[in-house]
Amino acid sequence: MKIKNVVNFIFEINHLKKQARSGFQFAGIKYPDTVAEHMLRSAQIGYILAVMEGNKNPEKIACMLMIHDNAETRIGDQHKITARYISKKEAEGEVFEDQIRLLDEKIQNKWKIYFDEYESRNTQEGVIAKDADWLEMAFQAKEYFDMGITAATDWIDNVEKAVETKSAKKIMKEMRETQFTDWWKDLKKMTYEKLQ
């Protein structure tokens, strides 16, 4: 493996930090989250979901989610309206294989298996990873919804119909009943002192 190939790959995936998620723009979000932000949170959700589901390899699931949208550096984030006309799955598979071709063979082999399992959902890990990907999107939509973007409820409803695992369904139910700001409300420490 040539170091130059590794360096170029690392520079390429930096574009995931600049690639905006496109679907939420239809709901009126001017500056949606990036693909990199989505991948980070979905990887952490995937790890948690794997543990909740009793899966023995949460690291594998987290890794699947860290690479699942790498192809979007070259083809962008394709929303569901685009999917009506273009096969995103086919294009992403082709780009992904092209991207990893110059990396070490061990990386290529492992990442290709992970990518295929994620796409086909033919293993427990693939199902959990896809649920985590969808959950992250639902959480992002809930944040937008709580800020007054009512059209974001469409993403939440669609994810609720799509998730497969018992744990993902429980998380969805609780998420719907939780404001996205609830996590910090008991953490605030007021520092003012009354003068009288």
pLDDT at 196 over 80: no
pLDDT at 1 over 80: no
Give residue-wise pLDDT tens across range 145-179: 999 999 999 999 999 999 999 999 999 999 999 99
Alpha-carbon Rg of the chain, whole angstroms?
19
Among the listed residues 139, 127, 108, the one whose alpha carbon sits nearest the alpha carbon of residue 46: 127
CB 128 within 8 A of CB 50: yes
Give residue-wise pLDDT tens across range 56-90: 999 999 999 999 999 999 998 888 788 888 888 88
Q: What is the DSSP string of 6-23?
A: HHHHHHHHGGGGT-B-SG
* pTM for the model: 0.92
Residues 130-155 have a mean pLDDT of 97
- Judged by DSSP in three states, 64 sits in helix
Give me the architecture of the 3-185 domain, per CATH: Orthogonal Bundle (1.10)
